[in-house]
A and B are shown apart, each in its own frame.
Chain A
Amino acid sequence: MKSIYLDYAATTPVDPQVVKKMQPYFSDYFGNPSEIHKWGLKASEGIKNARTQISKALNCNPSEITFTSCATESINLAHKGLIEAVRNQDKKIIPHIITTQIEHKAVLETCKHLEKLNWAKVTYLPVDEFGLISINDLGKAITKDTVLVSIMFVNNEVGSIQPIAEIGKLLKTKYPKIFFHADATQALPYFDCDVNKLNIDLLSFTGHKIYAPKGIGALFIKSGTPIIRQQDGGSQENNLRAGTESVPLIVGLGQATELIIKNRAKESSRLKTLQKNLISKLTEIPGIKLTGHPEKRAPHIASFIVKDVEGESMMLLLSDLGIAVSTGSACNSQVLSSSHVLDAMGIAAEDSHGSLRLSLGKDTTKEDIEYTIKSIKKVVTTLRKMSPDLTGIEF
């Protein structure tokens, strides 16, 4: 049976070169990097090397990289840590955060938490039908208390690319006191994340979307950005994240970052071609529509609405044909509610019911895409035959 994984936006396999690089750090160089004996030094050397690899990718100083366990933790640290630090400077004001309605839950839930504590006021910017915010809206939302603008680089459900460079420029030139956080989880393998060029103060990403293992992430904190650590204990990670470092995972993240940067240009254009074919063939099928922006989208995400079909059953039947995809259907969510991203884009719940996301990666081939197109046609026909005639039905 075929085995075609098209869910790279959910997670990626670990690159064999990454595994190889990590290997000795499990049993040979197992020392605690806080110790200064031979074993400890070998481990801290591995961390130092990884920090340098990542700093090169982001064009920052190695000391500006903090290792965490995942993007969610990086995001929590960036938002909560900054707000706590800002509040310490002046308890009278309630700091204001501007973010978007289509952020990952890690950002949205962290913001809600801060609101609940009354530590911050939050504006959630709307998006247009393509999932893009407007710079105009952002400018209008800024108040004298705004301390943080937090915008994702590439949306994980529909692949739309936010105008990160423009936002960075606006903040730097007109509001230099406001800090800018970008969630680059889906962007790093395909877009230049030069924090200097983009004027980013805080940037989060994770290993398991870039061919490193799960359980490791990083946060770039521009020097001078006030942050109070959220995990207390020892003085690891420059006093920003207590806990013994996971040396093998850190080494893996460093290596994976170096690899994706090396392959970025080639891989982006290769996936763009595959994605184009996939989008044009699937949207030829009646009742299948692209979601997200037609051009301003990351090369690895192709997302659709399939009319008169439910996403979970589509996913299960495709899985039976050996293909892994994902859906934003309410039926497939643990809370039975439709995707907040599709909602924010103005897509009705009965349409997001039939949402389908295919995300491509380094092992995706032309043949995979051809087989997938054929299989989707088959599955959609089967499920539509199963569905009652819905014309004239109102719910």
Chain B
Amino acid sequence: MDLTYTKEVLKHLKSPKNMGKIKNPDGEGMVGNRVCGDIMKMYLKIIKNEKGEEIISDIKFQTLGCGAAIATSSVLTTLAKGKTIKEALKISKDDIIQALGGLPAIKVHCSILADEALKKAVENYCSTLKQH
């Protein structure tokens, strides 16, 4: 089985983008991967543009996990940042994998994790909105 990572994965692992926490986020989501015990957390800051669309103005991640888990969370933040929530929700695991130049087959589940963390953060944002 080929387990080698692409250069892009290693680049993200070495210098992750948007790593850390957002204070008072507008939404946050955490998912855990029971298969191997990894945990991923996404934080969102949302603003409205002139058209009234909700834009992800800032996004940060925290991950305890393998190289692929870190790289997928990092690359996902770069894909989602500046996008409307609607657009961001359309980012699929395949988009993430493509942006990394591919992932070993056994690591595909890590990209699903990143995707789920973002969706959870958006859900969390929407549900807190309703409460107000």
A residues with a Cβ closer than 8 A to B are 308-310, 312-313, 316-317, 320, 329-332, 334, 336, 338, 349-350, 353, 383, 385-390, 393, 395
- Is B1 an interface residue, CB under 8 A from the partner? yes
B120 to A: closest C-beta gap in Å: 13
User: What residues of chain A lie closer than 8 Å to B16, measured between beta carbons?
Assistant: 386
Tell me, in angstroms, the Cα distance from A316 to B10 when the chains sit together: 8
- Of B45-53, B65-73, B83-91, B124-132, the one touching chain A: B65-73
Cross-interface CB contact of B62 among A312, A313, A329, A387, cutoff 8 Å = A387
A336: B residues at CB distance < 8 A:
35-36, 106
Contacts of A393 in B (CB 8 A): 30, 32, 39
Q: A310-B65, A317-B13 are in contact. Are A334 and B39 (CB under 8 A)?
A: no
**Which residues does chain A contribute within 8 Å of B8, judged by CB atoms?**
none
Interface string of B1-36 (1 = CB under 8 A from A): 101010000100110100110000000001010111
In the assembled complex, which residues on chain A have CB atoms less than 8 Å from the CB atom of B19?
385-386
B1→A334 contact, CB < 8 A: yes
Contact partner of B13 (CB less than 8 A), chosen from A309, A316, A387, A389, is: A316
- Does A386 contact B37, Cβ atoms closer than 8 Å? no
Chain B: which residue is nearest A312 at the CB level?
B66
Q: Give Cα distance in the complex from A350 to B34, angstroms.
A: 10
Q: Are A331 and B30 in contact (CB under 8 A)?
A: no
Q: How long is the Cα–Cα vector from A204 to B65 in the complex, in angstroms? A: 37
Contact yes or no, B64 A395, CB < 8 A: no
Q: Interface readout for B88-107 with A: 1 if CB under 8 Å, 0 if not?
A: 00000000000000000010
Quick check: is B77 within 8 A (CB to CB) of the other chain? no
* Min CB gap B81→A, angstroms: 18
Chain B contact residues (Cβ within 8 angstroms of A): what range?
Answer: 20 to 34
- State the B residues within 8 Å of A (CB): 1, 3, 5, 10, 13-14, 16, 19-20, 30, 32, 34-41, 62-67, 69-70, 106
A387 to B20, CA, bound (A): 8
| 5 contacting pairs across A/B (C-beta < 8 A) | A310-B66, A320-B10, A331-B36, A331-B69, A386-B64
How close is B87's CB to chain A, nearest CB, in angstroms? Answer: 26
How far, in angstroms, from A390 to B39 measured CA to CA in the complex?
9
Give CA–CA (A386, B64) in the complex, Å: 7
- A330 x B1 contact (CB < 8 A): no
Complex: A393 Cα to B40 Cα, angstroms: 12
Q: Is the pair B41, A395 in contact by a Cβ cutoff of 8 Å?
A: no
Complex partner residue of B38 from A310, A317, A334, A389, CB under 8 angstroms:
A310
Question: Shortest distance in angstroms between A359's beta carbon and chain B's nearest beta carbon?
Answer: 20
CB-based contact B37/A350 at 8 Å: yes
In the bound complex, what is the Cα–Cα distance between A338 and B65 (angstroms)? 14
Q: What 4 new A-B contacts, CB under 8 Å, besides A331-B66, A336-B35?
A: A313-B65, A316-B13, A330-B35, A390-B39
Is the CB–CB distance between A320 and B14 below 8 Å? yes
Give CA–CA (A307, B32) in the complex, Å: 17
Chain A min CB distance to B76 (Å): 14
Q: Looking across the interface, which residue of chain A has its beta carbon closest to that of B43?
A: A388
What's the Cα separation between A349 and B38 when bound, in Å? 11
Choice from B3, B14, B37, B70 contacting A349 with Cβ under 8 Å: B37
Cα A327 to Cα B67 with chains together (Å): 13
Which residues does chain B contribute within 8 Å of A390, judged by CB atoms? 39, 64
Q: Is the CB of B63 within 8 A of A312?
A: no
What are the residues of chain A within 8 A of B40 when measuring CB–CB?
388
Cβ–Cβ contact A395 & B36, under 8 A: no
In the complex, what residue of chain A is closest to B5 when comparing beta carbons?
A: A316
- Which of A320, A330, A334, A388 has a CB less than 8 Å from the CB of B37? A330
The minimal Cβ–Cβ distance linking B13 to chain A, given in whole angstroms, is 6
- CB-nearest residue of chain A relative to B28? A388
> Are B34 and A309 interface neighbours, CB within 8 A?
no
Chain A, Cβ-Cβ closest to B1? A334
A390 to B41, CA, bound (A): 11
Q: Shortest beta-carbon distance, B86 to chain A, in Å?
A: 27
| A329 partner residues in chain B, CB cutoff 8 A | 36, 66
A317-B13, A388-B41 given as contacts; is B66 within 8 A of A332 (CB)? yes
Please give the distance in Å from A96's CB to the nearest CB on chain B: 35
Instruction: Tell me whether A312 and B37 are in contact (CB under 8 A).
Output: no
